[in-house]
Amino acid sequence: MTSLERTLTLTVPSATEHLALIREFVANVGSQAGLGDDDVAKLELAVDEACANVIEHAHGHDANKEVTVRATFDTATLRIEVVDEGEGFDPTAVPSTPVEQMVHDRRTGGLGLRVMKSLMDEVSYEILPGDRNRLRLLKRIQK
């Protein structure tokens, strides 16, 4: 069965002040795609985490760079790509440390990927040397 696929894209300067706008965009896309309120909230948070990682780690708070969020959905799935211009740091390769150990070590970062994996059905990362890096998030749409 084929179904109509739609793609919506938002590009913003790489700065945390735009995270609220990104969440608003993603929430609207999630609703259009047919996600329920609970899944829309999960999507908002997962994309926020992905973009915050890009802004902080991949771009080092350089607002001259851009973050692009591309959302593609059909009746079965919603796929989000977060595209950055950074050096290519694969967050999915970072080992998972227990939260208790992180507290003991006074580490405040590294939670974002854990949140993304908890909330989305699939998380993957693609590094395109000299071009772009893409974090892909997939959410299946419950009928």
Partner 1 sequence: MPHPFKVHRTAEGDVSVLHLEGFLDAHTAPAFEQAIQAELDASRSRIVVDGEKLTYISSAGLGVFMGFIEQIREQGGDLKICGLTPKVRQIFEILGFQAIYDMVDSVPDAVQRFVTSPTREA
Would you count residue 74 as binding partner 1 (CB under 8 A)?
Answer: no
Would you count residue 35 as binding partner 1 (CB under 8 A)?
Answer: no
Q: Quick one: 27 or 72, whose CB is closer to partner 1?
A: 27
User: Which window, 39-47, 62-70, 89-97, 135-143, contacts partner 1 (CB under 8 A)?
Assistant: 39-47
Interface residue with partner 1 among 96, 106, 129, 142 (CB under 8 A) is 106
Q: How far is the CB of 136 from partner 1 (least distance, A)?
A: 19
Number of other residues whose CB lies within 10 A of the CB of residue 89 = 15
133 CB-near residues (< 8 Å, 6+ apart): 58, 83, 84, 85, 86, 88, 89, 125, 126, 127
Task: Identify residues 46-65 at the interface with partner 1 (CB under 8 A).
Answer: 48-49, 52, 55-56
Would you count residue 142 as binding partner 1 (CB under 8 A)?
Answer: no
Apex CA 111: angle with CA 99 and CA 35, to 5°?
Answer: 120
Would you count residue 26 as binding partner 1 (CB under 8 A)?
Answer: no
Is residue 22 within 8 A of residue 137, CB to CB? The reply is no
The rounded distance, in Å, linking the Cα atoms of 92 and 135 is 9
Residues that bind partner 1 (CB under 8 A): 16-17, 19-20, 23, 41, 44-45, 48-49, 52, 55-56, 98-100, 102-104, 106-109, 111-112, 114-115, 118-119
